[in-house]
Structure 1
Amino acid sequence: MTDLSGAVREALRARGEPVSRLGYFCVPFRPAEGVLKDKVIKTYRGGRDPEVLEQLARRHTAYVDLLTWAGVRLPETRFLILNEAGYMQPVIVQDALDEAILMRPQIEAADLPDALALLEGAAASIADFWGRVAQRPERIGYHPSIRNFAYDAEGPIFFDTFPPLIGYSREDMGKLLLRFSESGLVRGVGTVMPGRIRAIQDEWYSPAGTIVGLFGSAVRLRPEDGPAILDWARGFAAAHLDADLGVEVLAELDRPPRLPAFWTGMRRVLGLEGKPNV
């Protein structure tokens, strides 16, 4: 595609229906027609801070490269910045995935053995990612929630590359969470209680936290199967995770994992949908 920026501008003028309302940062949409009709477009809060945005672009490229290097399957994902008279807006253009392979509805619809098989494949891929990046010098994170995965015959596909969780300190990532939140309420809360917003990221940078988070989402999606899922999760952690990681995960599975009360309340106030998150 020779003029991606032009195609994105055209798609934005004729914006289609959103494919999800789950996002903290954006509402992705898929064009109904045109050269990008097989893509999902994600637009993020723009501004006139080129140093922040140009660094973001570099880090996004580095993060996609890292994920690919670490064996994470991704749809083709491109990042660009639209510049309108100095107002710069970040955009991600990503190959659209068949809705039939999105992991969340598969977990909801499957019988319990098939749901556990999906969880096992996803959890194993998360553990593998952390093992591969363990010796990297950068601060690296990962946000592999059920709603950020698809799952086909070859295994999990991850499709959430924003924010790029590479190279940012905890303090700087906290600022990024505020800078790119679409919600004025979140930005307002962040000026008063920055620590609360900063803490949103902590699970993303914790190997045990990301795995426990996956299991917790499954329990919230299928509360009637919660005890069976937790029993299975304990067995998975004991049998398939290395000793230190397994101990950390098991310590978090003595009760059903819960989202932080602040974040649960914030999602309700913002009207962000999604059974795993309510």
Structure 2
Amino acid sequence: MTDLDALRDVIRADSDARGKPISKLGYFCTPFQPKSGPLADRVIKVYRGLSNPAALDRLKVCHDDYVGALLKAGVPLPETEFHLLDIDGARIPVIVQEALPIPSLMRPLMQTGTQVETLAMMEAAGDVIATFWNNADQFDTRIGFHPSIRNFAIIDGKAVFFDTFPPLIHYTREEMGRMLLLFSEKRLMRIVGPFLQKKVTGIQDEWYSAPETLVGLVGSACRLRPDDAEAYLDWGRDFVARRMPRWQEEALAELNEPPRLPGYWTTFRKILGLQGEPNV
């Protein structure tokens, strides 16, 4: 169990004492790993607080339920804790997660590997996607999954998923759409987003669709390595037939050519300066 006093100290520390951020993506926060101390083997993710105590309490319940559901569905996760940490009179959501080796992050490995190596990584990530969705029927609640390339590490040939925020369980589509704004680290998104609430809400739809999560993985690979796009499309068509036949028809309809991001999400990413790097 995390020493909460040590956690408060490292969060309050200046950036030099904290250690450098280990991801530039940071839609919800900028994760960091302390350079030393009792939390040096952990990644810490600090999120925006809310003024609504009930909403915070529900967030914790949902996050705990989501981690439990992912594990029950067979998704490999590093040890993950969620805390509502009292800091200077405010309750701040904080995730403390077992740190994975930086060289194991899937996105940079996809950029530098051979085509054969990257196809093996796609198979590993696809295995996690198929395992989750083939086991998701047991949950009598709205549940989603966001298995993008940047949310995986590859360890001993297996894919490990590590993105548990926002917790994609229990919340309605409209509630999750609001959460995408409430917890955005980007002030610009919180200002502009409410005027585009329908568009923002639509960002999540892929995460709640089995075929779309697989198509999204293939699309990310094609954008990372356009010269190998045809190989990834072939892999996706073969994989969905082998491992996700329930969703084969829907997925195949989108795997005739490299899948593209929705235009509104591409625009948001450009405005916010999001580079698509690993969201550790």
Aligned residue number for residue 208 of structure 2 = 205
- Whether contact under 8 Å (2:105, 2:278) holds in the other structure is no
- Whether contact under 8 Å (1:221, 1:275) holds in the other structure is no
Secondary structure of the structure 2 residue equivalent to 1:151? strand
CA distance in 2, matches of 1:249, 1:109: 27
Aligned residue number for residue 228 of structure 2 = 225
Aligned residue number for residue 32 of structure 2 = 29
Aligned residue number for residue 254 of structure 1 = 256
CA distance in 2, matches of 1:43, 1:126: 27
Whether 1:146 aligns to 2:149 is yes
Aligned residue number for residue 124 of structure 2 = 121
From 75, 80, 83, give the equivalent of 2:83: 80
- Structure 2: where are the runs of 5+ without partners? none
CA distance in 2, matches of 1:239, 1:72: 19
Give the CA RMSD over aligned residues: 1.7
Q: Describe how 1:38-57 pairs up with structure 2 within 5 A.
A: 38-57=41-60
Return the TM-score normalized by structure 2.
Answer: 0.94
Cα distance change, pair 133–103 in 1 and its aligned pair in 2 (3 A): same
Secondary structure of the structure 1 residue equivalent to 2:219? helix
Return the TM-score normalized by structure 1.
Answer: 0.94
- Whether contact under 8 Å (1:151, 1:157) holds in the other structure is yes
CA distance in 1, matches of 2:169, 2:101: 28
CA distance in 2, matches of 1:275, 1:235: 27
CA distance in 2, matches of 1:72, 1:54: 25
- Structure 1: where are the runs of 5+ without partners? none
- Whether contact under 8 Å (2:124, 2:157) holds in the other structure is no
> 162-171 or 268-277, which moves further after superposition?
268-277
Aligned residue number for residue 8 of structure 1 = 7
- Structure with larger RCO (C-alpha < 8 A, sep 6+): 2
Cα distance change, pair 224–276 in 1 and its aligned pair in 2 (3 A): farther
Aligned residue number for residue 68 of structure 2 = 65
Question: Once the 2 structures are TM-superposed, how far is the Cα of residue 154 of structure 1 from its aligned partner?
Answer: 5.2
- Whether contact under 8 Å (1:221, 1:276) holds in the other structure is no
CA distance in 2, matches of 1:53, 1:86: 14
- Whether contact under 8 Å (2:130, 2:243) holds in the other structure is no
Question: Once the 2 structures are TM-superposed, how far is the Cα of residue 47 of structure 1 from its aligned partner?
Answer: 2.7
Q: Which 4+ residue blocks in structure 1 deviate beyond 4 angstroms?
A: none
Question: Once the 2 structures are TM-superposed, how far is the Cα of residue 231 of structure 1 from its aligned partner?
Answer: 2.2
Secondary structure of the structure 2 residue equivalent to 1:150? strand
- Which amino acid letter does the alignment assign opposite residue 223 of structure 2? R
CA distance in 1, matches of 2:235, 2:183: 37
Identity of matched residues, %: 51
Question: Once the 2 structures are TM-superposed, how far is the Cα of residue 237 of structure 1 from its aligned partner?
Answer: 2.2
- Which amino acid letter does the alignment assign opposite residue 84 of structure 2? I
- Whether contact under 8 Å (1:63, 1:164) holds in the other structure is yes
> 90-99 or 146-155, which moves further after superposition?
146-155
